[in-house]
Structure 1
Amino acid sequence: MNGHPIEQFKLIRNEITRFMMMYKFALQELETKIDILQEEFHLLHEYNPIEHTKSRLKSPESIMNKMMRKGCDFSFPSMREHIKDIAGIRITCSFISDIYRIRDMLCSQSDLTLTDEKDYISHPKPNGYRSLHLLVQVPVFMSDRQETVCVEVQIRTIAMDFWASLEHKIYYKYKQAVPAHLLKELKEAADSATALDRKMERLHKEIEQIKEEQSADEWNLSDIIINNQQFKLPAALLDLIGDRNKVGAGE
């Protein structure tokens, strides 16, 4: 590379900034999609499967360290090819069935492309780790071109997330072999979390069934709430809907 050292530094800095910026924008695109789903469920459904989300962007130092561990050459194309979790988002939900429901909702969006899926729920890791990992390609529209960026999506229940967070803290910066009895206890704790997930999902389904039976005649369809504003539906519109239902029933 020729030129003044300061100019060389600026060029490298701008390349790194542009590279990281693509992943930042891809995360924002995915976060917007999830926000829309949350708002839709809030307005139209009684139950929202998405509890909360957390996103993160690997630092350039972390990316370089992972490239060194993998023995890859240091270039931006190589980083994109070999490091698939530069951008990541974790979606936490209440129940196991929610995980696959959220997966299906994301994968049904035409501008997202699922490139890989690892189901650590059906096939847990030996230590007991459970989560659904997806790699999705997200289109990012820049001022001069379109980029397709890989984002890792992890979907797990609250119980799975609780176990994984504590397991990470226990192992954080621990370089030695973990005693066998501790591994056994961690696995037992993961199994307990799974048992709790299954029991809570069963209770949830039973209670939802009871709620549906009790509230069949208690719906108030005359009001809607959008963006914290309450709107009264016009009587003429309600009459029109009622007339259509009568015609449908008569047929």
Structure 2
Amino acid sequence: MEELNGGYETVDSWKTIMFLYNAALKEVGTKLEILNDEFQYVHQYNPIEHIKTRIKTAESIVHKLRRYGHESSIENMVKYVNDIAGVRLICSFTSDIYRLAEMIGKQSDLKVISIKDYIKSPKESGYKSYHMLVAVPIFLSDSVVDTKVEIQIRTIAMDFWASLEHKIYYKFEGHAPTHISKELKECAEMISALDEKMLSLNNEILGFTQDVQ
């Protein structure tokens, strides 16, 4: 993975770094809303059902650094914690996910650092989502700082499963009983089958509409 160092040497306080991540979140959020509006204008269809944004808490950042075996510092959080600023795009169909990923990748002022496709290669738990780590330039009065934002793209069904899985694993502090993990994975398979069925139905409806026209 490529490391980003541009401008961070001038960042020396918690308030400044969180200002940068909040600014990056606004920049990316605005870009995604414009892309969605453009798609609606051109194709009369919204690929994004809704957008969720969040900034990790200080407690969560420190916990993640400790889990990775790193000391708590601004330098380490910038270098090792890639999801401090996060955007989640919720779509109707799996085809929307790849369409959006392609549109985001073509943005000239966004730099794609890495991609993790957990749809084609799900996690052991059954988790599915498409992750993009991007860098957005934040223009300050005296410098430009490339700031990382993680974009997660998933269907409504994937998001429903992931939200419940997160709550369950949080309750067990990451060590859920074997039978619960097994049932969650079975639910993930059901969710995947549902997504495939809904996409197939949508394609059939679109084909029927075109035939009528």
**Cα distance, 1:114 vs. partner?**
0.9
Query: Which runs of 5 or more residues in structure 1 are unaligned?
Result: 1-13, 216-251
Residue identity in the other structure for 1:205: N
Instruction: Work out the CA distance in 1 between the residues paired with 2:60 and 2:117.
Output: 25
Residue in 2 aligned with 1:154?
152
Name the SS for the 1:124 alignment partner. Answer: coil
Asked if the contact 2:169–2:175 (Cα under 8 Å) also holds between the matched residues in 1, the reply is no
Residue identity in the other structure for 1:182: I
- Equivalent positions of 1:1-251 (< 5 A) are 15-175=13-173, 177-215=175-213
Residue in 2 aligned with 1:241?
none
**Cα distance, 1:176 vs. partner?**
7.0
Residue identity in the other structure for 1:122: K
Aligned residues: 202
Residue in 1 aligned with 2:5?
none
Instruction: Work out the CA distance in 1 between the residues paired with 2:68 and 2:184.
Output: 28
CA deviation map 1:178-229 (0-9, x unaligned): 22222221111100000000010011011111112223xxxxxxxxxxxxxx
| 1:38 to 1:210, Cα distance in 2 relative to 1, 3 A | same
Instruction: Work out the CA distance in 1 between the residues paired with 2:117 and 2:174.
Output: 28
**Cα distance, 1:70 vs. partner?**
1.8
Instruction: Work out the CA distance in 2 between the residues paired with 1:58 and 1:183.
Output: 26
Instruction: Work out the CA distance in 1 between the residues paired with 2:101 and 2:168.
Output: 29
Name the SS for the 1:163 alignment partner. Answer: helix
TM-score with structure 2 length normalisation? 0.90
Instruction: Work out the CA distance in 2 between the residues paired with 1:172 and 1:61.
Output: 15
**Cα distance, 1:37 vs. partner?**
1.1
Residue in 1 aligned with 2:4?
none
Query: Which runs of 5 or more residues in structure 2 are unaligned?
Result: 1-11
CA deviation map 1:28-55 (0-9, x unaligned): 0000001101211222212211111100
CA deviation map 1:55-85 (0-9, x unaligned): 0001222212222222223332221111111
TM-score with structure 1 length normalisation? 0.77
Question: Percent of pairs identical after alignment?
Answer: 50
CA deviation map 1:105-147 (0-9, x unaligned): 0000111111111111111111110001111011111122110
Name the SS for the 2:70 alignment partner. Answer: coil
Asked if the contact 2:125–2:185 (Cα under 8 Å) also holds between the matched residues in 1, the reply is yes
Residue identity in the other structure for 1:77: E
CA RMSD of aligned residues (A): 1.4
Give the ranges of 4+ consecutive aligned residues of structure 1 lying more than 6 Å apart after TM superposition: none
Residue identity in the other structure for 1:147: V
Higher relative contact order (CA 8 A, sep 6+): 2
Structure of greater Rg:
1
Instruction: Work out the CA distance in 1 between the residues paired with 2:79 and 2:174.
Output: 31
